[in-house]
Amino acid sequence: MTQAQSPRDPDRFRMGPTRISTLVVAGLAAAAVAWLLISSFYYDVAPNLPWLPVITLATLAVLEGYAAVNTRNRIERRPGRDPVNPLLVARFVVLAKASALAGAIFAGFYAGITGWLFIERTNAAVGDRPAAGAGLLASLALVAGALWLERSCRVPEQEDDEDREPGDRETPRGRL
């Protein structure tokens, strides 16, 4: 263990922002699996790709984008907005982190399928291209919405942060 990760360090369990590298690796792995699966089983099964997952992913992306705007306005205490519940913000962060990873996996999966469908010249493959392309776009929108929501849940920097000692904590009623 390094000095920063000692067993007594309270920050070792702190949740950090989602790493883009994690999302890229998950997406690439999902793309490879999708390519292998579709190239092996497409002609055996060959049903039309469903549109329901595309609609679901797009709806989640829109809802998370709306939550990002609303949460940011409430955290910044804009006029006409109620203060935000800290527990709700924590739940939004967990939702955003999970959605970003799920969106990256779906994006990789749809990218692998879309890439394979554009190589194939059959009528079935041509008919599945719109659903696969829309799934890829909806998945990328979900990743963007999730990262935006996660970013919106950050507490803005306080002007007097430089004056505070490292052990001081701010509460709604003042310093502890």
**Would you say residue 175 lies in a domain?**
no
Is the CB of residue 160 less than 8 Å from the CB of residue 167? no
**Per the domain annotation, does 17 fall within a domain?**
no
Sign of CA dihedral 133, 135, 136, 137: positive
Q: Distance between CA atoms of 164 and 101, rounded to whole angstroms?
A: 36
pLDDT digit string (tens) for 101-154? 999 999 999 999 999 999 988 888 899 999 999 999 999 999 999 999 999 998
Domain that holds residue 90: 27-155
Decide if 147 is inside a domain.
yes
What 3-state class would DSSP assign to 12?
A: helix
Whether 60 maps to a domain, the answer reads: yes
* Domains held by the chain: number: 1
For residues 84-98, average pLDDT: 94
Token reading at 73:
């306005």
Domain assignment of residue 16, yes or no: no
Would you say residue 94 lies in a domain? yes
**32 torsion bin: left (phi>0), alpha (psi -120 to 50), beta (else):** alpha
pLDDT in tens, 21-78: 999 999 999 999 999 999 888 777 667 889 999 999 999 999 999 999 999 999 888 8
Distance CA 39, CA 104 (A): 21
Q: Do the domain assignments include residue 102?
A: yes
More confident residue, 8 or 152: 152
Q: What DSSP state is assigned to residue 80?
A: T
Query: How far is the C-alpha of 71 from the C-alpha of 75, rounded, in Å?
Result: 6
Q: Answer whether residue 3 is part of any domain.
A: no
